[in-house]
A and B are shown apart, each in its own frame.
Chain A
């Protein structure tokens, strides 16, 4: 009997109840909130469901030495987490993004590229704020990239510049990407007049297949020559797009944009979620990162919308751009473009801005990858 009691006592020591701390419960609640937001409101469900469940996985109180935790070397979760730590998941996601992105609207109206550039002010605004709040330059760079509104880029850069902050940065980036429909519209309304919101843009011209094939090749060569440190992201993005547009690699494009990107999304979501163990995540730094992350999205939206208004000063009547697509310069594809469209429709039910907004939206992906390359070059 005594022996059985001893074994039961030992078993109890292994359970999550015996190792419970309040931090774990808070994280479990956060994880459940992510899952709830994803299922109830359909905010980025592809990301928030894996991340939310990953948070649950990562916050089961563990007996040290069980070799199952994400930070325990050699554990299954730790092996899967290598893709995040060593940064090989994000380029694979970019391959898929490239293979599923149609750059036609951008090619048809290349001036929209500049909006994608302007919105990157969010990154550097967040960088400056992070420095002011006492983060070192490398950490500030990693936090700043949240303003790019691009989860894979945020993971890629933070794994190199500030691995200890990666969990908070990734969760912050993905959370705010999901909250784009909440964060951006008030700023867009604040900065635009009713007349501006009613601007109707010319329909984009048809783009020839040759232009579509040339875009990834020229786009890659140009951006990679300027920022070689962005090659992993830019290379895979444009390579994926060439698979799509070449017309002769349909199977590869389908794999890249389908099963491959799905698998990597699952792995990246679950492991990033699991990396947010209470002991690592519930720190004052994480709170600051979340505040800076929100501000970065606000700055990016401000910059994008104001840039369009400024740009319009130089454009002839009839060629003007609706400033409601300025928010799409952040690269939360396609949510930011959808926000532009929805806000536009509120003021003119026949003014569909989606196709126009996709231009700056995909330009934002390129812009944030270039900005990440710059940060890596300066701070890595």
Chain B
């Protein structure tokens, strides 16, 4: 029982730790638009400033309880409400907040706008830990967004590293087009003959197997030492013998042969009865395979007296 409790506690702590570690910290401010006159409309048909968040992790993140703010002195300006399934952001997906200062319109309408905002701050559920912040630019012009060049990549300290003026707005979608062939193409451009990948990947394969080698070498040695101790303890004296693991196979073969011969000499083997018994063999019967059922009944001749 004690062990079960301990196990559950460890699992619980691990889950809490990993859940916390992989959750809200992975969220990024990804793009924003300050002056929206001819861009995306909200569900009320209105055009307002918006802020896009991106889940950079490969797990779903619940942002309920986190805060958005435009004021470093008041990080809890807008608390993202709980109880809304849409606050669970799927892996590598986006979520859009309308900065229209009309929070009564729903979960995704925050209680400030960007007209006079100096920066946008996304804060963890504790209300203290800033996950991401970005200064607000007011010189971009109408319908021009500012965002990360690649989703989720770049600074989180407000230094705008990895951020740029967007060629086009991309609310709730990727900031740069994802070209599936781009990665292999880039790889081929960097490494046209394949040597870099070969060396890197082989190093990793060797590294993985070398680590396994060291671990199992150590475990093996520990096992041999433990075996020696056990055998010494069982005899009661120090046993002089080669390492437990170094007993050649021939020794085992010799022991087995000796035991076999001993049994034979000692007539340990059962005597054969020399009686041959013939058993009747039953064939498995099934009406499905029986020919009888496929034949017509033999016609009987009724003789009239």
Contacts of A219 in B (CB 8 A): 212
Given the complex of chains A and B, what is the CA–CA distance between A366 and B250 in angstroms? 31
- Chain B window 202-213, contacts with chain A (Cβ cutoff 8 Å), 1 for yes, 0 for no: 101111111111
Contact of B201 among A136, A203, A210, A371 (CB under 8 A): A371
Answer whether residue A38 sits at the interface, using C-beta atoms and an 8 A cutoff: no
Q: Looking at the assembled complex, report how far the CB atom of B11 sits from the nearest CB atom of chain A, in whole angstroms.
A: 16
Answer whether residue B84 sits at the interface, using C-beta atoms and an 8 A cutoff: no
Contacts of A375 in B (CB 8 A): 197, 201
Answer whether residue B184 sits at the interface, using C-beta atoms and an 8 A cutoff: yes
Contacts of B212 in A (CB 8 A): 110, 113, 218-219, 222-223, 366
Interface Cβ pair total, 8 Å cutoff:
137
Closest to A118 in B: B206
Given the complex of chains A and B, what is the CA–CA distance between A378 and B205 in angstroms? 14
- Chain B window 178-192, contacts with chain A (Cβ cutoff 8 Å), 1 for yes, 0 for no: 000101110110011
Contact of A128 among B193, B211, B224, B227 (CB under 8 A): B193
Closest to A139 in B: B184
Residues of chain A in range 123-137 having any CB-CB distance to chain B below 8 Å: 123-125, 127-128, 130-132, 136-137
Given contacts A136-B185, A137-B185, A222-B215, contact A108 B245 (CB under 8 A): yes
Contacts of A370 in B (CB 8 A): 204-205, 208-209
Place the interface of chain B in its size category: 35 or more
- Interface of chain B, main secondary structure: helix
Given the complex of chains A and B, what is the CA–CA distance between A218 and B188 in angstroms? 35
Q: Is the CB of A140 within 8 A of B246?
A: no
Q: Looking at the assembled complex, report how far the CB atom of B150 sits from the nearest CB atom of chain A, in whole angstroms.
A: 17
Contact of B244 among A205, A367, A371, A378 (CB under 8 A): A205
Given the complex of chains A and B, what is the CA–CA distance between A354 and B168 in angstroms? 64
Given the complex of chains A and B, what is the CA–CA distance between A107 and B208 in angstroms? 15
Q: Is the CB of A374 within 8 A of B193?
A: no
Which of B197, B224, B250 has the largest count of A CB atoms less than 10 A from its CB?
Answer: B197
Contacts of B192 in A (CB 8 A): 131
Given the complex of chains A and B, what is the CA–CA distance between A117 and B211 in angstroms? 12
Answer whether residue A138 sits at the interface, using C-beta atoms and an 8 A cutoff: yes
Answer whether residue A77 sits at the interface, using C-beta atoms and an 8 A cutoff: no
Answer whether residue B217 sits at the interface, using C-beta atoms and an 8 A cutoff: yes
Answer whether residue A81 sits at the interface, using C-beta atoms and an 8 A cutoff: no
Q: Is the CB of A211 within 8 A of B195?
A: no
Contact of A124 among B187, B194, B227 (CB under 8 A): B194
Contacts of A161 in B (CB 8 A): 184
Contacts of B204 in A (CB 8 A): 226-227, 370, 374
Q: Is the CB of B193 within 8 A of A378?
A: no
Q: Is the CB of B217 within 8 A of A110?
A: yes
Closest to B245 in A: A205
Answer whether residue B14 sits at the interface, using C-beta atoms and an 8 A cutoff: no
Residues of chain A in range 91-127 having any CB-CB distance to chain B below 8 Å: 106-108, 110-111, 113-114, 116-117, 120-121, 123-125, 127
Q: Is the CB of A114 within 8 A of B197?
A: no
Given the complex of chains A and B, what is the CA–CA distance between A318 and B155 in angstroms? 58
Answer whether residue B223 sits at the interface, using C-beta atoms and an 8 A cutoff: yes
Contacts of A222 in B (CB 8 A): 208, 211-212, 215
Answer whether residue A86 sits at the interface, using C-beta atoms and an 8 A cutoff: no
Contacts of A130 in B (CB 8 A): 194
Q: Is the CB of A203 within 8 A of B249?
A: yes
Answer whether residue B198 sits at the interface, using C-beta atoms and an 8 A cutoff: yes
Given contacts A127-B197, A202-B246, contact A363 B209 (CB under 8 A): yes
Q: Is the CB of B217 within 8 A of A117?
A: no
Given the complex of chains A and B, what is the CA–CA distance between A18 and B124 in angstroms? 69
Q: Is the CB of A215 within 8 A of B195?
A: no
Contact of B197 among A113, A121, A132, A378 (CB under 8 A): A378
Contacts of B246 in A (CB 8 A): 202, 205
Given the complex of chains A and B, what is the CA–CA distance between A124 and B203 in angstroms? 12
Given contacts A121-B202, A131-B194, contact A110 B213 (CB under 8 A): yes
Given the complex of chains A and B, what is the CA–CA distance between A138 and B205 in angstroms? 19
Given contacts A226-B204, A371-B201, contact A379 B193 (CB under 8 A): no
Answer whether residue B219 sits at the interface, using C-beta atoms and an 8 A cutoff: yes
Contact of A378 among B181, B201, B220, B245 (CB under 8 A): B201
Q: Looking at the assembled complex, report how far the CB atom of B78 sits from the nearest CB atom of chain A, in whole angstroms.
A: 36
Q: Is the CB of B194 within 8 A of A138?
A: no
Q: Is the CB of B205 within 8 A of A140?
A: no
Given contacts A138-B184, A205-B246, contact A117 B193 (CB under 8 A): no
Q: Is the CB of B220 within 8 A of A379?
A: no
Answer whether residue B216 sits at the interface, using C-beta atoms and an 8 A cutoff: yes
Contacts of B198 in A (CB 8 A): 121, 124-125, 127-128
Answer whether residue B236 sits at the interface, using C-beta atoms and an 8 A cutoff: no
Q: Looking at the assembled complex, report how far the CB atom of A377 sits from the nearest CB atom of chain B, in whole angstroms.
A: 9
Q: Looking at the assembled complex, report how far the CB atom of A309 sits from the nearest CB atom of chain B, in whole angstroms.
A: 17
- Chain B window 68-108, contacts with chain A (Cβ cutoff 8 Å), 1 for yes, 0 for no: 00000000000000000000000000000000000000000
Answer whether residue B248 sits at the interface, using C-beta atoms and an 8 A cutoff: yes
Answer whether residue A29 sits at the interface, using C-beta atoms and an 8 A cutoff: no
Answer whether residue A214 sits at the interface, using C-beta atoms and an 8 A cutoff: yes
Given contacts A124-B201, A227-B208, contact A114 B213 (CB under 8 A): yes
Q: Looking at the assembled complex, report how far the CB atom of B144 sits from the nearest CB atom of chain A, in whole angstroms.
A: 35
Instruction: Please name 5 further chain A to chain B contacts, defined as beta carbons within 8 Å, in addition to the given A120-B202, A206-B247, A366-B209, sorted by A numbering.
Output: A113-B210, A136-B184, A207-B220, A218-B219, A227-B204
- 15 A-B pairs with CB atoms under 8 Å apart are A108-B220, A111-B213, A117-B210, A137-B185, A137-B188, A141-B184, A161-B184, A205-B247, A206-B245, A211-B219, A211-B220, A214-B219, A215-B216, A226-B211, A367-B209
